[in-house]
Amino acid sequence: MAAYKRVLLKLSGEALMGDDAYGINRTVIESMVRDIAEVVRSGVEMAIVIGGGNIFRGVAGGAAGMDRATADYMGMLATLMNGLALQDAMKHAGLVARVQSALRVDQVAEPYIRPKALRYLEEGKVVIFAAGTGNPFFTTDTAAALRGSEIGAEIVLKATKVDGIYTADPKKDPSSTMYAKISFDEAIARNLQVMDATAFALCRDQRLPIKVFSIFKQGALMRVVRGEDEGTLVHL
């Protein structure tokens, strides 16, 4: 039985690339959707905030020297592209998903409306929040903390390429060890790069825990929602 009734899954755009330089790897996204479907069909209500780094990376060279606000809006559009791709993959897997965008793009996605998002979750639909917070200078990590708080999620699941938070970069320092648990204050003080300080602070203030785990580890998502020993818990 799941330990959580409602969760917010934060997916980075880079996680959708697989081993590609940029863009969306269909095999990777289908694998992720299978794991998500297993969790949703177990009765867990799931919303997703998705990043756009994989799409934006393809135009990063042309963005050099660009105004920060303009670049951030381009990044928001990249998250919308990822959200639509994820919605399509879910449709093929038999899941019903709705994309809600913080930017108005009515031809392709609904605007973010909190009561509608809550109703969709109660109906067993997956809600994909795109375009971050709709504001430049705020990351999709902060959007995950914000949307998670707004929908009453019990935990933010930060899906990464590594299986938790380490004392140092495990690729550079093989002797580094993984934290089983770490407090918000310690994560901020140590300047851990898993999520930005604004997202950590918002989750701390809203008493919303974060679990950091690898989305590429088979069965990890289900183990996390069951409350099993998987990844790193960031807590008060």
- pLDDT computed for residue 15 by the predictor: 84
Greatest distance between any 2 Cα atoms in the chain? 51
Query: For residues 59 and 55, what is the distance between their CA atoms, to the nearest angstrom?
Result: 8
* Numbered residues of the known binding site for UMP: 52, 72, 133-140
- pLDDT computed for residue 62 by the predictor: 58
Angle at alpha carbon of residue 201, lines to 172 and 126, rounded to 5°: 85
Mean pLDDT of the chain: 90
- pLDDT computed for residue 18 by the predictor: 76
CATH number for the domain whose boundaries are 6-235: 3.40.1160.10
Q: Using 50, 70 and 90 to split pLDDT, how confident is the model at 101?
A: very high
What does the pLDDT look like over 115-173, one tens digit per residue? 999 999 999 999 999 999 999 999 999 999 999 999 999 999 999 888 888 887 777 88
* Numbered residues of the known binding site for ATP: 10-13, 53, 57, 160, 166, 169
pLDDT at 106 over 80: yes
* Numbered residues of the known binding site: 10-13, 52-53, 57, 72, 133-140, 160, 166, 169
Domain ranges of the chain: 6-235
